[in-house]
Amino acid sequence: MAVNEEPRRMFEVFLQRKLNVLHGAVLGSGKVTEQELLEAYRQYQDDGEIRVPAPDTTERNNQRLIFGSAILLFILVATPLISIVLEQAIATRCLVPNNYLVWEATRPISDCDFCRGVHGPLIFGNLTKEEFRPYAYSSQPIILKNAISHWPATKLLNYTFLRDLYGKIPGALDSVQSDCQFLHFKSNFLTLRDVFSMSQSRAEFRKGELPWYVGWSNCHPQILYGTTEALPKTSLPSRRR
């Protein structure tokens, strides 16, 4: 009898160890508490059926709520930004801003025969329209001396005057950027707006300031420009600043 009970006792010890390991693993998972295990054991003692407690869905519901709120917040923030980007894209006349490289890449091929045989400019004093007519629209370069001596601009035109003029006329600075030509040469200015934003000391070329030199065309109808007496009425006055 003792011989038959020894294997049974060893099996019970083995089974007890396995149950202890399983018990520790279940408690270590954090999904079941000691009290829940005891309650499940009592229920098993009563009706012989193990009842697993229903999983706690509170954490999962909280995760879903946070995820849904994040999506809603993203939609609320992204929608106005997308709308602004689309409005700016529709309102932009050119995807590539007008600049020196674009101007050079898209200009017509020059006909060098236009200046063939020209060896130097013709130099005159200020001419009348009748005196200038034989030379108009020719390939001969001409220098007119004192042609603008009567212009008020010779006394009024300076950096401050141009800055105030372009600053008080809506759209004047933007017209240079979108419709005209701006040449910064070796200056560190990208737009005419940058030029008129420089410090007064640099604008006056004071010692220690970086030198600058720029050029641009005027395409805004409210920016005034003059002409010389020699140019015919059918010609376009110069708009280069």
3-state secondary structure of 222: coil
Look up tokens 């693993």; give the residue.
25
- pLDDT at position 68 is 83
- pLDDT at position 80 is 81
**Tokens at residue 160, please?**
């401050």
* Residue 143, strand partner residues: 123
In degrees to the nearest 10, what's the CA dihedral of 168, 169, 174, 180?
A: -120
* Residue 144, strand partner residues: 124
**Tokens at residue 153, please?**
């601009």
3-state secondary structure of 93: coil
- Cβ atoms of residues 61 and 78 within 8 Å: no
- pLDDT at position 1 is 45
* Residue 240, strand partner residues: 217
Kindly report the pTM of this predicted structure.
Answer: 0.41
d(CA 67, CA 62): 9
Torsions phi, psi of 219, nearest 5? Answer: -115, 5
- 64 to 59, 60, 69, 73, 203: CA distances (angstroms): 9, 6, 8, 14, 61
3-state secondary structure of 124: strand
The domain spans of the chain are: 67-106, 114-144, 152-229
- Cβ atoms of residues 177 and 196 within 8 Å: no
For each of the chain's 241 residues, which pLDDT tens digit applies?
444 677 777 777 777 777 777 767 777 777 767 777 777 767 766 665 555 555 556 767 778 888 888 888 888 888 888 888 777 777 666 666 666 677 777 778 877 777 777 888 889 888 888 888 888 877 788 898 888 888 887 888 889 988 998 989 888 888 887 778 888 888 899 889 999 999 999 999 999 999 999 998 888 878 765 555 656 565 554 444 4
Contacting residues for 119 by C-beta, under 8 A, at least 6 apart: none
d(CA 66, CA 69): 5
The DSSP H or E segment spanning 12 is helix 2-29
- pLDDT at position 99 is 66
